Amino acid sequence: MTVRMICGGTAGIEKEAIFRMNYYISDLHLFHEASIRFDERPFRDLEEMHTEIVKRWNEKVNNGDTVYILGDVSMRGKNEDLIALVAILKGKKVLIRGNHDDVSDLRYRQLFSEVCDYKEIRDSIAGKSYELVLCHYPIFSWKHVSRGTILLYGHTHNSPEDDYFQKCLAEMKDNDCRHIGDSAIQAYNVGCMKPWMDYEPRSLQEIIKMKFVENGN
C-alpha cells in the first residue's frame, strides 16, 4: 500500500507526499504441494493456493512498496512457471534466502532487487523508528536485542520447534541472561501460514498488533 497525503506548500501550493510501505512475509513454498498438508493450509490444491496468494499480495502491495521475503519462496528447482508467478507479484522484492531458495537461474534472481542471507534495516510505526534484524532462521541472541531490536524470521512454520524457540526467549528474559537487558524481547515469525500473516505480506505494525491480539492481549 502506498499512502498519499496532501501537505500544505508555499504560496498556497499543495504538495502530495508519498509514503512507501515495507512489508514482510516468509515461507510461501510455491509449487510445494506437501506444504498444504503439513501446514494445514486452507487450500484444495496448488492452483487455489497460488491464485489466493497472488490476489492478496497484489491487492495490498503497490510497485513502489518493498516486500522483504524471509526465505523459501518455493521448493528447490527452477522452472518457467515459478519465474512467471513471482514476476507478477507487485513491489520491490528483497529475498533473504532460506534453505529451499535456488537463485542460480539469472532470470529468476533478477526478479529480486537484492538477494542476501541476513539483513539489518530500520522501519517505523507512527513516526517511531525501529531497528530490525531479518533472517530466515530464528536466532537466540541477535544484534542489539538488549536495545529493543526486533527479529523477524521464518523457517519453523507452525511447529513445536517454533513454540520452543519462543519459550526459550521468554526464559532468557526471566533469568536475566546476558545481552538481554531491560527491553522486551520481540521476535516474530512471519511465515505466511501464521494466523497473524494469513498468506499476505504484512507491515511491521500489522505483525505486532495482530500477534498481540492472537496471544489474547
| Residue of 170, 98, 162, 171 whose CA lies nearest to 136 | 98
Residue 15's pLDDT is: 46
Of all helices (H) and strands (E), which one includes residue 24?
A: strand 22-25
pLDDT along the chain (217 residues), means of 10: 46 57 98 95 97 98 97 83 96 97 93 98 95 97 91 96 92 73 87 97 95 63
Q: Which residue has the cell 528447482?
A: 77
CA distances from 172 to 93, 132, 169, 176, 217 (A): 34, 20, 5, 6, 21
Q: Supply angle C-alpha 194, 195, 198, rounded to 5.
A: 80
pLDDT in tens, 9-51: 445 455 445 679 999 999 999 999 999 999 999 999 999 999 9
Residue 173: its pLDDT value, please? 74
Q: What is the pTM of this model?
A: 0.88
pLDDT, residue 146, reads 85
Is the separation of the CB atoms in 66 and 119 below 8 Å? no
Task: Give the per-residue pLDDT at 2.
Answer: 45
Domain 3-10+21-214 has CATH 3.30.590.10: no
Which pLDDT belongs to residue 215?
63
Taking Cα atoms as reference points, which of 120, 159, 115, 152 lies closest to residue 137?
A: 152
What 3-state DSSP class applies to 92?
strand
Q: What pLDDT shows up at residue 79? A: 84
